[in-house]
C-alpha cells in the first residue's frame, strides 16, 4: 500500500499549528536543502514548501508565512512578500514579484516570460524574452486564471477565476474574462494604494528645489554615515554594520568624505590611511588583493581576479584623493605589449558576459592612467592597441561591445559599456565612435522592467545608464526622451535616502525589504551620490547639489591620451 499524502501538503495554512514536531523538523530540513548553497534564495519564518511541489528557482525569496502547496511548478525568479499563498498546481515561471498577502487559486498560471515568434524559425528554437510580472499587495487571484508576461497587477485588486490577464490591472479593480476586462471596483480610487517602490511620494516642489534640499541633507549627514561604518577595534571601515572590512570600504569612505566634506575621513589620519593602502599593494606586481574573512589579504591572485582589477580603481582613486599614488608600478601595463593587449581584449567574454569584459577593460585603462600619472613610461603601442581594438570592435548597431543574452537581455552589454568606456574613452577624454547608437541602446534598455521597474533598480544598473547618457549628451540625440528618463530616475532616487545612514545599493520596496542590498552602506551611498550628480547635470541642475565627484566617478577626463600628466 502507498503512503497516504499528508493533508498539509495540499492545505498548508494550519501546518505550523497542527503538525507534530517530527513533521515540522522535516519541513525545516526541506527548506534548508532549498536554501543551502544558494545565496540567491531565502525563506522567511513559518513558511511552508510542499514536498510535492517542484521548486527550481534561479532566485527565490519568500516573506514570512508564505506557503507553496503540492503540485506547484515554480521556476525563474520569484520574490514574494509576507502571507502569500501559492495553492495546488499553480505555475509561476519567469521573473515574478508578489507583494504582501497575495492569494493565488489552484491551477493558476503566472508566466513572466514568452517565446519570440518571428517567421522562418521553429518556436522551440527562438529565444525567450522576459519583461516580468509585478503583483501588488492584497491581491486575490482566482483558480485557473492566467497572467501573461509584462503585466502589472495593482494592489487590492481581484482577478476572477478563469480570467486571462493580458494588460495591466489598476489598483482596486475587479477583472474577469478572456481577455480580462474591468467589471467594477473593489476599492474606490481615493482609497486605493498605488503600486509603489516603497519610497514616499515626492512633494509638489520643483525638482530643482528638491535637489537643493537633498544636497543640504546629505552634506549634513556625512559625519554620521562615516561613524556608522567605522570599527574602532580594527581601525577600518565596513560597508555597513555587521559586514567585514574590505579594501573597497576604505576607498568608499575616502570618496564619500571627499565628496561631502572635501577632506579625509576624520576617523583615521590621512597619512595612516595612505600607509595602509600602500601596504596592501604587492610591490612585485602592483596588484592589491582582497581581504579574506580573517582580515588578511588573500594570496596568489593577479589582475585577472575581478576584485584585484577593481582595486586598481578604488585604491588608486582613494590614494589620489588623499594626495598620494601607488608606490609600485602596475605590471599589468608596464609589462604589456601591443600584441598582449590585443590578445587580452580578444580573450574577454564579450558574447557571454560583456559586463565582466568591460570590468577588466576598465581596470586595465585605469592602470594605464596611474602609470602615466606616475611618470612611468608606457611601452610603445600599448595605448594605441587598447583604443584601436575598442574602436574597431564597437558594434555600429548598438555603439557598444558584446551581445545581449537570452536571460539578461541588454543588461550585460550596457553595464559592460559603462565600465569599458569609463576606464578608456571617458577617463582619457576620447570621443566615442557611435554616440547616437549608444543613446538608442540605453533608452531601449531602460524600458526593461526587469531592471527598471520600481523596486528592481540598483546602483549598478542605474549608474550604467546615467553615465553613458551624460557622456553622449553633446550629441543632442533624442534629448527630450533622455531628459524625461533622467527626471524620473532622479526624482525616485531622491526619495530613497535614509537620513543619517545613506543609500542602499538597491532601492527599497515592499517586496525587497529585508534584503541586505537594500540596507544603507558605503558602496550604495557613494554610487547613488554619483548617479544623482550625473542625472542632475543632464538636467542642468547639478550645481544645486553642492558637491561634485572627484574620484572613480569624476566627470572630467583624468588624463590626456598620449601625454604624461
pLDDT band with cut points at 50, 70 and 90 for residue 308: very high
Backbone angles phi, psi at 391, to 5 degrees: -65, -40
3-state secondary structure of 122: coil
pLDDT band with cut points at 50, 70 and 90 for residue 59: confident
Closest CA to 224 of 498, 517, 463, 515: 498
Closest CA to 518 of 532, 505, 502: 505
- β-pairing, 41-43 vs 54-62, is parallel
Closest CA to 218 of 555, 546, 563: 546
3-state secondary structure of 152: strand
What per-residue confidence (pLDDT) applies to 182? 87
Cα 182 from Cα 191, distance rounded (Å):
18
**pLDDT tens figures, 408-451:** 999 999 999 999 999 999 999 999 999 999 999 999 999 998 89
**pLDDT tens figures, 192-224:** 333 333 334 344 458 999 999 999 999 999 999
489, 454 in Cβ contact below 8 A? no
The distance between the two most distant Cα atoms of the chain, rounded to a whole number of Å, is 84
What per-residue confidence (pLDDT) applies to 237? 97
Cα 559 from Cα 565, distance rounded (Å):
6
Q: Which residues are bridge partners to 182 per DSSP?
A: 175
Lowest mean pLDDT among 31-45, 249-263, 505-519: 505-519
What per-residue confidence (pLDDT) applies to 265? 97
User: Which positions ≥6 away from 7 have C-beta within 8 Å?
Assistant: none
Instruction: Tell me if the pTM is above 0.75.
Output: no
Number of neighbours of residue 24 by Cβ within 10 angstroms: 14
523, 459 in Cβ contact below 8 A? yes
What per-residue confidence (pLDDT) applies to 120? 65
User: Which positions ≥6 away from 335 have C-beta within 8 Å?
Assistant: 379
Cα 240 from Cα 506, distance rounded (Å):
14
What per-residue confidence (pLDDT) applies to 565? 42
87, 104 in Cβ contact below 8 A? yes
What per-residue confidence (pLDDT) applies to 196? 35
Q: Which three cell numbers stand for residue 96?
A: 515574478
What per-residue confidence (pLDDT) applies to 201? 39
Active-site entry in 8, 38, 57, 115: 115
DSSP 464-480: HHHHHHHHTGGG-TTHH
Closest CA to 15 of 67, 85, 71: 67
- Let me know if 115 is a catalytic residue: yes
User: Which positions ≥6 away from 489 have C-beta within 8 Å?
Assistant: 457, 462, 465, 466, 531, 535
Per-chain mean pLDDT for the chain: 90
Helices (H), 394-478: 411-421, 427-428, 435-446, 449-452, 459-471
For the chain, give the percent of residues with pLDDT over 90. Answer: 71
Amino acid at each position: 500500500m502507498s503512503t497516504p499524502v499528508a493533508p498539509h501538503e495540499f492545505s498548508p495554512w494550519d501546518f505550523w499549528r497542527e503538525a507534530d514536531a517530527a513533521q515540522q523538523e522535516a519541513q525545516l530540513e526541506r527548506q534548508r536543502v532549498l536554501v543551502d548553497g544558494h545565496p540567491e534564495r531565502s525563506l522567511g519564518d513559518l513558511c511552508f514548501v510542499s514536498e510535492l511541489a517542484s521548486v527550481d528557482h534561479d532566485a527565490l525569496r519568500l516573506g514570512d508565512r508564505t506557503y507553496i502547496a503540492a503540485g506547484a511548478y515554480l521556476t525563474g525568479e520569484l520574490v514574494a512578500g509576507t502571507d502569500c499563498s501559492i495553492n495546488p498546481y499553480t505555475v509561476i515561471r519567469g521573473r515574478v514579484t508578489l507583494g504582501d498577502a497575495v492569494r493565488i487559486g489552484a491551477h493558476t498560471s503566472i508566466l513572466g516570460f514568452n517565446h519570440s515568434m518571428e517567421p522562418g524559425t521553429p518556436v522551440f528554437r527562438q529565444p525567450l524574452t522576459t519583461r516580468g510580472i509585478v503583483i501588488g499587495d492584497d491581491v486575490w487571484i482566482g483558480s485557473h486564471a492566467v497572467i501573461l508576461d509584462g503585466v502589472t497587477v495593482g494592489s487590492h485588486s481581484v482577478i476572477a477565476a478563469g480570467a486571462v490577464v493580458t494588460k495591466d490591472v489598476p489598483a482596486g479593480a475587479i477583472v474577469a474574462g478572456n481577455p480580462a476586462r474591468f467589471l467594477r471596483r473593489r476599492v474606490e480610487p481615493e482609497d486605493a494604494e498605488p503600486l509603489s517602490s516603497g519610497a514616499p511620494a515626492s512633494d509638489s516642489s520643483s525638482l530643482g528645489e528638491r535637489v537643493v534640499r537633498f544636497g543640504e541633507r546629505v552634506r549634513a549627514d556625512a559625519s554620521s554615515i562615516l561613524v556608522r561604518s567605522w570599527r574602532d577595534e580594527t581601525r577600518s571601515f565596513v560597508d555597513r554594520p555587521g559586514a567585514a572590512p574590505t579594501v573597497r570600504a576604505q576607498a568608499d569612505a575616502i570618496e564619500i568624505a571627499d565628496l561631502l566634506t572635501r577632506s579625509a575621513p576624520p576617523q583615521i589620519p590621512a597619512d595612516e590611511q595612505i600607509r595602509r593602502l600602500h601596504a596592501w599593494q604587492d610591490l612585485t606586481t602592483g596588484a592589491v588583493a582582497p581581504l579574506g574573512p580573517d582580515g588578511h589579504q588573500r594570496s596568489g591572485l593577479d589582475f585577472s581576479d575581478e576584485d584585484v582589477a577593481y582595486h586598481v580603481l578604488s585604491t588608486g582613486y582613494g590614494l589620489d584623493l588623499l594626495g598620494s599614488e601607488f608606490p609600485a608600478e602596475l605590471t599589468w601595463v608596464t609589462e604589456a605589449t601591443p600584441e598582449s593587449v590585443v590578445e587580452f581584449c580578444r580573450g574577454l567574454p564579450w558574447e557571454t558576459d560583456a559586463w565582466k569584459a568591460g570590468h577588466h577593460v576598465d581596470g586595465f585603462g585605469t592602470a594605464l592612467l596611474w602609470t602615466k600619472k606616475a611618470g612611468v613610461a608606457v611601452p610603445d603601442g600599448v595605448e594605441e592597441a587598447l583604443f584601436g581594438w575598442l574602436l574597431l570592435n564597437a558594434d555600429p548597431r548598438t555603439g557598444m561591445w558584446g551581445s545581449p543574452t537570452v536571460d539578461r537581455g541588454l543588461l550585460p552589454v550596457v553595464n559592460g559599456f559603462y565600465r569599458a568606456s569609463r576606464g578608456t574613452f571617458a577617463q582619457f577624454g576620447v570621443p566615442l565612435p557611435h554616440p547616437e547608437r549608444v543613446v538608442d541602446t540605453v533608452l531601449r534598455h531602460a524600458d526593461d522592467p526587469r531592471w527598471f521597474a520600481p523596486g528592481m533598480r540598483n546602483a549598478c544598473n542605474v549608474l550604467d545608464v546615467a553615465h553613458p547618457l551624460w557622456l553622449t549628451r553633446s550629441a543632442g540625440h533624442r534629448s527630450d526622451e533622455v531628459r524625461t528618463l533622467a527626471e524620473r530616475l532622479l526624482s525616485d532616487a531622491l526619495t530613497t535616502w535614509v537620513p543619517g545612514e545613506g543609500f542602499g545599493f538597491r532601492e527599497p520596496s515592499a517586496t525587497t525589504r529585508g534584503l541586505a542590498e537594500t540596507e544603507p552602506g558605503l558602496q550604495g551611498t557613494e554610487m547613488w551620490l554619483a548617479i544623482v550628480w550625473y542625472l542632475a547635470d543632464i538636467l542642468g541642475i547639478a550645481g544645486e547639489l553642492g558637491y561634485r565627484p572627484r574620484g572613480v566617478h569624476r566627470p572630467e577626463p583624468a588624463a590626456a591620451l598620449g601625454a604624461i600628466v
